[in-house]
Amino acid sequence: MTGVEILGWLAALVGTSLGLPQLVRLVRTRSTAGLSLLAWQAILTLNLIWFVHGVKIGAANMSLPNLLALATTVPVLVLMSRDRGRPLARVLWPSLLGAALLITIDLLTTGGVFGMFSLVPAALANLGQCAEVIRARDVTGLSPVFLVLGLANQLLWLSWAVGISEPSSIISSVAITVIVTFTLVWYTLRRLGLRALWPSSAASVGDLVAEAELAADDPAGSTAVS
């Protein structure tokens, strides 16, 4: 096995386990605070299109992890839909529609065309999560391990793509690595005490229930909070 192949399978290993820490954190905390629904919808699209692209170019290290990643991406979306009181079908259909469109582009084009179009869900996933980290009132539902693995995954895919001169993966990995790095740094600052910028007024069902329980336990204290 060559060095490039080893990089590819390392990327596959990290990619397969990428969503697991986030799923575990959701199950343990029962909170989706700090998670971007748009990001996870886009991640589902990415899992589907890169699975098909991996099959197309004969790269099992690309197709297999994205197929296995559905075992974490879909449950995360199910938990988010429940926590935020949204019908699951309404949560899933944008991802499926986007995947169908991009898979069609991939099958009908060559070179880096698919790579350019694949930047759309990749950007939505990473910019969506980045914006949530900046604006969310609370980011404790977001797993730091998930963010670290995301950065490691992009660096591994970039190294692999350069090694085999695969333009679609190079284009996507370079752009996303920059965004993931920024998100990880900003998340670290939030956990160190940095306040939300332009805070979002949106709250999940779980967050509202928690606030209601707190208010019931300490009505005097709750009325003092603006």
pLDDT of residue 205: 47
Decide: 45 and 98 in contact? Cβ < 8 Å.
Answer: yes
Rounded to 10°, the helix 144-164/3-17 angle is: 150
Q: Confidence band (pLDDT; 50, 70, 90) for 73?
A: very high
Alpha-carbon separation of residue 195 from 31, 133, 187 (angstroms) = 19, 10, 11
The rounded percent of the chain whose pLDDT value lies above 90 is 50
Q: For the chain, what's the residue count?
A: 226
Of 69, 120, 76, 123, residue with least CA distance to 97 = 120
Helices (H), 18-112: 20-29, 37-57, 60-83, 88-108
Using 50, 70 and 90 to split pLDDT, how confident is the model at 209?
A: very low
Q: What percent of the chain has pLDDT over 70?
A: 87
In the DSSP assignment, the letter for residue 198 is S
> Using CA atoms, how far apart are residues 13 and 7, in angstroms rounded to an integer?
10
- Residue 207 above 60 pLDDT? no
pLDDT tens per residue across span 16-56: 788 899 999 999 988 899 999 999 999 999 999 999 999 99
pLDDT in tens, 154-172: 888 888 888 888 777 787 7
- Tell whether the model's pLDDT for residue 76 goes beyond 60: yes
pLDDT for res 214: 39
Q: What six digits make up the tokens of 42?
A: 């886009």
Rounded to an integer, what distance in angstroms lies between the CA atom of residue 96 and that of residue 104? 12
Tokens found for residue 175: 């752009």
Using CB atoms within 10 Å of the CB of residue 82, give its burial: 0 to 12 exposed, 13 to 18 middle, 19+ buried.
middle
pLDDT above 80: residue 136:
yes
